[in-house]
Structure formats: C-alpha cells, structure tokens
Chains A and B, each alone.
Chain A
Amino acid sequence: MLVAVSEPSTVAVAAAPAVELRGITKRYPGVVANHDINITVIRGHVHAIVGENGAGKSTLMKTLYGMHRPDEGEIAVNGEVVHLSSPGEAIRSGIGMVHQHFMLADNLTVAENIVLGDEPRRFGILDKRAARRRIAEISDAYGLGLRPDALVEELGVGDRQRVEIAKVLYRGAKILILDEPTAVLVPHEVDELFGNLRELKAEGLTVLFISHKLDEVLAVADEITVIRRGTTVATVDPKATTARQLAELMVGSELPVPELRESTVTDTVELSLRNLTVRAADGRTVLDGVTFDIHRGEIVGIGGVEGNGQAELVEVILGLHAVESGQILLGGEDIARWGTRRRRTSGIGYIPEDRHRQGLLLEAPLWENRVLGHQTEAPNVRGPLIDVSAARRDTERIVAEYDVRTPGIDVTAASLSGGNQQKLIVGREMSAHPRVLIASHPTRGVDVGAQAAIWDHLRTARAEGLAVLLISADLDELIGMSDTLHVILRGRLVAQVDPRSVTPSELGAAMTGVEGDDATAPAEPGPADSGPAESGPHLTKGGSS
C-alpha cells in the first residue's frame, strides 16, 4: 500500500556515489515526516531536491547533516555507511551545510569568520598568516573571490553567502548542502552563485541544492529529486523535464491554475466604499479617499506592496478600525458605524491574513473554532446558548466537505497543518453563506492542494453571487482570480488594471509606483513577494511559513 514511487537513478555508477540515502524514515511531532526516502547523489553533481513548503526537505537535510538521527534507513557517504549524530560528525564525513540564514559575526573579518571555531594555531594563538593562506587557496581554487580582511558587515548578501560556502569548504567538506540558497539573492547574484557552483563541481565537489524555485533548479542541476509529502517520488533529468512537469510531480496532480472562467458579475452592488479615509493611531493617513464597488458575483482584487493600506482596508470593512470619513455601504446600507459583530452577522465573511492571530483559537478544539466568528448564528447557537451538539455535527460536516485532514474535531487547532487550518476557516466562513467575503491572502503558506481547493471554493461562491474582496501578495493569484483589479499605493487606489491582459511585471511596476512598463521591482533582497515576472508556472507563494 505504501508503495514508494521513487525511481532512484538506476544507472550503474562506477564509483561509489557521494551520498546515498536508503529508506530514510523520520517520525517527528507534527504533520510531515520523512518516510522511505531514497536518493543517490553522484559525485561531482549538483543534485537538486525540490518540494513544496513542508514536503519534508528540511527534515531530510537535518538528517543528512546529523542534526537528528533517522528512525529507519541508512546513509552512505562514498559507499560507506555512516551514523551521523551531530553536525560535527557530518563535517568529519565531508558533509557541510550552508544555511539559508547566514550565521556570521558582523564585526569580524571574512578570515576570522571562516576560521571561527576551527582556528589554525601557533603556540596557542591564532595564526593569522596560515588562516589567510588557506582562505586564499580556497578562494582561488573555487573562484570565490574572497577578500580575507574585509569586515563582514561591509559585505553584500552574495558575498556573505560565499563566506558561508568558504566556511564549509575550510572545514574540508566535499559534499555541500545548500538550503534555499537563492531565497535571499537578487537575480545577478543568483547567476554568480551558479557560477560558483559550477566551479565547485569542476573541482569534484558534490552539491545538494534545496529549492522550490523550479526555473533555477532546472538551470543549475544535473539531477533533480522530487519530494512530496515526506517521500521521494521521482528523480528526473533536468534536460528532459519542463518546469511544469516538475511542478506537477511536486504537487502530485495537475497544478492548479488561478483563473476565472465566464464572468458572473452582476449589476447589483453588494459592497461599496465611498471616499473612505482612515487614519492610524498616530494620525497618519493610511487610507485616502478609497472608492470602489464590489458587485454580486464579482471578485475584486487589491494589489500592492505590503504595508500600503491593505491591512487597514480589511480592518475598516470589518469594523476593527475606525473610519475617519466616508461610507461603507453593504447592500445600500451604511455600516461604517456598526460594530464588528453586527457586520459579520449581516453577511461579511472573513478569511484573515494571519490566521493564528485573527482566525483561530489555537488551544481550542476544532468545533469551538467552527463557532468562532459565528457565535450568533445557526447551527451554533439556540438563543443565548451554544448548541454544542449541533456545532459539533456541523464541524464534522465541514471537516468532510472541505477535506480538513484531522483525526477528529476534538483536537486543538494548533495541531493541524497550516493548509488544513485554512481549509477549516474557509469552510466555516462559506458555511455562513456570506454576502461579502474578505479574503486576505487566502492561500498564503498553504500547500498547493489546499490552494486549489480554496480557489475552487471561491469560484463556486462567486458563481452563486458572492462578492469577494481579494487581497494577495501572489500576483498570479491576484491576476488569475480577480474580475476587477485595483492597485493600492500609500493608501490610495492609484490604478485599475485589466486582469485579463496585465502581466505580473506590469502589475509589479504599478504596485511600486514606477512609471513605464519595463520597470522591474527594486532589487532588494527583503520581500520576495513581488514574484518572478516570467510566464510559466510559479510556485512562489507570498511569504514563507
């Protein structure tokens, strides 16, 4: 029943593979573990491991780097079975790890950082000359271009990453694990990194490259192993694979596409904001004369770089934030002075951006979470009393209909995975048959399966006449799922774009307020939200969890 569909490359290899993972299983508190992982990494290869967030890549890498012991299976390095019970042992076996988040001391030089913890000594004191010599050798051999005496705090992100790589090489690693190395890099730094990786390869080193950015993986890897739900599902040749095929392997089914079919937009305005102005507690204007309508059967998207008023827009519609001036009309009635509860019972559903903060009682069982936000509605209550048995029954129904993967409704919300928590929230909100749904980053941090399901529910509800306000940092989602798309910048709606024709890069440019259509998002390593602009399937989802 548990047939692992893994096909480790059965090509007979003359030399022993650099790393071989055989039947690795790791049980772990939490939903995802590794089971029956089989990977063969050929020496001198860049071997990519791809999978969705939460597919088990990190668990696997921790196993390989000796941060915990696998419960089953064995690891062979250069043909010899090893037992790695600490990173120290991993390094002695020639395995080094370059972490996603750099671990460097800013106030030390490059050389000092590299030798830190493994210093060459002469008469008990640091032998700076020897250190510098070794580092120069490494730098030359692998084309890292390090300046040993530069202070780390003066270095850019790409340089820091090369210091990290040098640190690992200095300790004699022949097998490098790179955990999401491109997450923090801007495009030209990515190219440089790939150049470095080719150098390492040429020198006979082996690189394990973990990523979920498929275009990059296809560009740099010699072989790609796909992990899904904790197990290896396939090993493929990048030359014979497309990004889309890879994505579908990762997801295990056809990749969901955010798209709307025929328009269901009606003429009836359900929610209308009229010249809405909102101030923050410090007096700053956070929304400035915002005006737009949402019709029945329409999804209105709001695109914008985070922090330009989207959060306040959501809160003001829900009554969590006071209105300075302007109107909020729900079906023609001004609700701007109503309390949150009255608005919600009048038909405003809410999928919050931060489900842990606003959407769930983490320590409460699922059925209590089903009641949350609908404390005044059937079937949860009978008069002033909570109808526990009806609420429980209805929770069972939501769990079944919305495919919430849980052993029961008495477990706490905290023990579910993010995607399942989100499905519960969507089910709960849809069950109240709202007139307006505020969906704030509805698929953030959820797996692709849940993402597809959530999109489906939105489409169905839209067809039934629901008016949806969609806020998202995932530009593909925004473009694909919106009937009407506004751009928000510094609290104002600055543009309305046609979601049928706009490209992500045009939208990104509008969001940053850059005029002209060839402008790309500013090259800052921070928010990866602006998303890649090329066509093709993207699995980049806003934020990481």
Chain B
Amino acid sequence: MTTAAPARTSRLSHLVSTERVYRLGLAVAAAVLALVFAALITSLILLITGHGPISALHHMIDYGTQATQISAIINQATTYYLAAIAVAIGFRMNLFNIGVDGQYQLAAILAAAFGGTVALPPGLRQIGIIVVAMLVGSFWAGIVGVLKVTRGVSEVISTIMLNFVATGAIAFLIKPSNLGHLYGENLTTKPIPSSGQVGGISLIPGSDVKVYGLVFLAIGVGVGFQFLISRTRFGFDLRATGRSASAARASGVNVKKMIVVAMLLSGAVAGLVNMPELLGNAHNYSLSTPSGIGFTGIAIALLGRNNPVGIVFASLLWAFLDTSSNILQISNIPTSIVSITEGVVVLSAVVAFELVNRYALRRQQRKVGRELGLTTPDPGGPEAGGTGSEAVPA
C-alpha cells in the first residue's frame, strides 16, 4: 500500500499542476469576459444616447496612448494601487475596510504638515513624512480594529463613521489658525521644501509629465504584500483567519490580535495613498487634494481579486479609463459614461469570478471523484495490487 500510493500521487499531481495553470486561465478569462460585457453595455448606452461607440473608443485609445497621458495614467494607477492594496489586506482577513478614504486623507494632511514644518536632513525628511503618514493611517484604522475586538462593532459601520469624522477633522485642521495657510483662494498646509520632495522620473520619452518617484514605493508595497501573505507565518495566519476564524483559532491563532494587526497594516498602506502625489507633485495638502480614492480602491481590489498582480492590471485599467475619458468631452460625450463602464466592470467581474470559483470547485470535485473512481472500485481495496499495475502505463 505504501509503495503504490506515492506512485499514484505523483502520477496524479502532474494533472493538478496543469490544473493550477488552468485555474489561472479561467480567472483571466473571467476578467476578459467581464470587460467585454462592460464594453457591450457601454456601447449600448452610447448608441442609445446617439454617440458612436467605436469612435469614442478610438478617441480614448488615441488619447490614452500619448506619452504624456501614459505618464499620467501610471501616476494615477500608482495612487489607486496603494488604495487597493490597503483594501485587499482587509479583504484577505474578511475585513471590509471602507475607511481607506478617511485614513489616507487624514494621513496626508498630517504628513504634509509634518513635512512642511519639521526640518529634517534630506532623505530623512522624506522618510519621516512617509512614516508619519503610515502611523496616522494605522492609528485611524486601528481604532476600528480595537472597537471590533473589544466591543464587537462591525468594521463596516465604524469605518464609514470614521470617514465622516476624518472629513470633519480635516476641515478643522486646515483652518488657518491650525495647520492651514491661505494662499489666494486655496487653503493649504505649508509646502514641503525641495529637500523633502521626491523628484519624478522621465520614464516615458516625450512626456511632459514625469512619473512619480514613489512609483517604486507602490511596487515595493505590492511585492511586500505578496511576500507577507504567501511566504510568512504571519501571512498564513492572516489568510487562515480570513478563510475560517474558528479553524484559525483552534490552530492557535489569536484572532483578536490578528484583526487589530490587519487593520493597522491596512491603515498603514492607506496612509501611503497620497504620498506619491504629495512628495512628487503637490508638495502640500490642500482643498484640491483628491478625495474618494479609498472607494475606488475597493472596486479595484475586487476587480484584481485581492491579488497584488491582479491589482496592477486593475489599477492601470481604471487609470486609463479615468484619464482618457477627458477626451470624450471634445466629442460632446459626457465623461460620466466612463463611470458607468467602471461600475459595470466591477459588477460583472465579481459575478464572473464567483461563477468561475464555483465551476472550478465542482470541476475539481468531479475530477477527484473520477480519479478515485478509477482506482478504488476494485473491491479488495487498494492493497489488492490493481493500483500498482494501473500506475505503470503512463
């Protein structure tokens, strides 16, 4: 029995590694299908409203592939990517962090104020700003974790509430009597001097816009996330808790601690969301600092299936749609059509992924059944030698 079994296992494990490739293919196919479906719906709406879908798409692609726009798309995607990773960390634990929006904005204003006022030597100053942002984001998200484990408050409720609190806090903080300065019509924090900035890189030749230097920070966060999740004990505990809190608990995971730590991590990454823009372009926090990226991050995390590589593609797609939609105004097409596209993409992607998941599980069960059906029916059991002889012809 012990001699036959490994042979059987290794013979069949072949099938299964191709199985993994197959599942990846399925996932990609699901994403593509979702896109095609979203394109169809968008086209339909364009047609109904009397516009040509083909020419609209043509315009968008033409515009979106100009060097300057490519740089802008990369910059936008960098910001989205960080927000989506922040959301994905929560999702991997079954925590729905809707509060990324408040976390990153509060982090941005405090980090900007820190960078504008606290003089540190170059290098340290940038690091200091980033660390402050991460700490603020962590703190804001940590409240949610602590409330959840001590008082059983659902993180969905508390993150939404804390978003409002953050908005109010920012309005208070940006007052000229506090951290803000009035420059013309705009209220801003004190600008970060050039010794505290991170210069852009001319990644795309011929572009007027430089790519954020902190694009590498985003890449680092993605790599770090993947490493943490798939290679570390901590990541294993985190995923285990997300899959089954009861099983994780029985396996020795301190689930409460895990919830707090996951929220702290998610908040730290959320704190980074505005850093590429702050250190690379705006150099201050102002009323015009973009808001709402936290919510975009949720959609992108869903589309990218909480996977660091998937989220790269999802962020780029989102940034492309956002950026290139500007051109639609020239043909008198409302840019909000792109919001419809984005919404449909997420909805259909979620549905398609779920369908693929179920299909894959059923298929696997059937496969297990079939494989074993071939080897087990002989009534003497696997010891009877039938298995051994079956394993020979490959």
| B175 lies within 8 A of chain A by Cβ | no
Which residues from chain A contact B13 at a C-beta distance below 8 Å?
396, 407-410
CB distance from A333 to the nearest CB of B (A): 17
For the complex of A and B, the 7 pairs showing the least CB-CB separation, nearest first, are A341-B252, A408-B16, A408-B13, A373-B251, A407-B12, A358-B250, A407-B371
- 12 A-B pairs within 8 Å (CB atoms) are namely A27-B369, A27-B373, A320-B250, A357-B244, A374-B251, A375-B253, A376-B252, A407-B13, A407-B16, A408-B16, A408-B17, A410-B13
Are the CB atoms of B381 and A252 closer together than 8 Å?
A: yes
Are the CB atoms of B249 and A340 closer together than 8 Å?
A: yes
Are the CB atoms of B370 and A27 closer together than 8 Å?
A: yes
Interface residues of B, CB < 8 Å — how many? Answer: 56
Given contacts A363-B243, A407-B13, contact A30 B252 (CB under 8 A): no
Using a CB-CB cutoff of 8 Å, which residues 351-394 of chain B contact chain A? 361-362, 364-373, 375-382, 386, 390
Are the CB atoms of A384 and B244 closer together than 8 Å?
A: no
Are the CB atoms of B231 and A230 closer together than 8 Å?
A: no
Are the CB atoms of A412 and B249 closer together than 8 Å?
A: no
| A318 lies within 8 A of chain B by Cβ | yes
Residue-wise interface mask of A (400-442) relative to B, using a CB-CB cutoff of 8 A (1 in contact, 0 not): 1101011111111011100000000000000000000000000
Given contacts A375-B237, A408-B13, contact A29 B366 (CB under 8 A): yes
Q: How far is the CA of A358 from the CA of B245 in the complex (A)?
A: 9
Interface residues of A, CB < 8 Å — how many? Answer: 67
Q: How far is the CA of A372 from the CA of B237 in the complex (A)?
A: 9
| B273 lies within 8 A of chain A by Cβ | no
| A70 lies within 8 A of chain B by Cβ | no
Residue-wise interface mask of B (1-34) relative to A, using a CB-CB cutoff of 8 A (1 in contact, 0 not): 1100110011011011101100000000000000
Q: How far is the CA of A345 from the CA of B15 in the complex (A)?
A: 35
Which residues from chain B contact A33 at a C-beta distance below 8 Å?
369, 373
Residue of chain A at shortest CB distance from B250: A358
Which residues from chain B contact A340 at a C-beta distance below 8 Å?
249-254
Which residues from chain B contact A376 at a C-beta distance below 8 Å?
233, 252
| B272 lies within 8 A of chain A by Cβ | no
Are the CB atoms of A414 and B361 closer together than 8 Å?
A: yes
* The residue from A358, A384, A403, A408 contacting B234, defined by CB atoms under 8 A apart: A384
* The residue from A339, A358, A375, A410 contacting B17, defined by CB atoms under 8 A apart: A410
Residues of B with Cβ closer than 8 Å to A? Answer: 1-2, 5-6, 9-10, 12-13, 15-17, 19-20, 230-237, 239-240, 243-244, 246-254, 361-362, 364-373, 375-382, 386, 390
Are the CB atoms of A388 and B250 closer together than 8 Å?
A: no
Which residues from chain A contact B246 at a C-beta distance below 8 Å?
357-358
CB distance from B378 to the nearest CB of A (A): 7
| A228 lies within 8 A of chain B by Cβ | yes
* The residue from B15, B378, B380 contacting A407, defined by CB atoms under 8 A apart: B15
CB distance from A403 to the nearest CB of B (A): 6
Which residues from chain B contact A341 at a C-beta distance below 8 Å?
251-254
Residue-wise interface mask of A (16-36) relative to B, using a CB-CB cutoff of 8 A (1 in contact, 0 not): 000000000001111111010
CB distance from A513 to the nearest CB of B (A): 30
Which residues from chain A contact B362 at a C-beta distance below 8 Å?
29
Residue-wise interface mask of A (365-393) relative to B, using a CB-CB cutoff of 8 A (1 in contact, 0 not): 00010011111100001001110100000
